[in-house]
Amino acid sequence: MSVPVLVLNGPNLGRLGRRQPEIYGTTTHDELAERCRAWGADLGLDVEVRQTNHEGVLLDWLNDAADAATPVVLNAAAWTHYSWAVYDACAQLTAPLVEVHLSDPSQRPEVFRHTSVVTPHAADVVAGLGVDGYRVALETVARLISG
């Protein structure tokens, strides 16, 4: 029996492959979702990948994950750096939360990217590995839930 895991992606990540490929790579969001599901299956995880440009939708997904004790891999994108609503939603999660970023925000020139409101609630942070970071994040979730 596989364990359900949510991979939640925030604003503009639906444009992967087209948006600043020099930073975010050429893999599309659909390709990323397909890889996440395959990586998850190999780890005994039933991965569902979602993306939204609407903060309230992300909050609803995080609330549902909290209620169901579902592990989450979260790339909150721009909301990572300023959304206290995302901070509060992450605070209520009881199953593992792994924060993931395609680039390494701490190495980006924009100073605002150096702060994360997700990190205080995350069991681990995976950054700067591109799409492969999602594989590492799912491996981390599998390790954390296996005890």
CATH code assigned at 89:
3.40.50.9100
- 81 appears as a binding residue in the annotation: yes
Provide the residue range defining the domain that includes 39. Answer: 3-145
102 is in an annotated binding site: yes
83 is in an annotated binding site: no
Catalytic positions: 24, 101
CA distance 66 to 81: 21
Q: How many domains does the chain have?
A: 1
pLDDT tens figures, 50-69: 999 999 999 999 999 999 99
* Backbone torsion region of residue 10, taken as left when φ is above 0, otherwise alpha when ψ lies between -120 and 50, otherwise beta: beta
> What would the pLDDT profile of 14-51 be if each residue is shown by its tens digit?
998 888 777 777 899 999 999 999 999 999 999 999 99
Residues forming beta bridges with residue 100, ordered by sequence position:
126
Residue 112 to residue 134: CA distance in whole angstroms: 23
Can you give the pTM of this predicted structure? Answer: 0.93
Which residues share a beta bridge with 47?
5
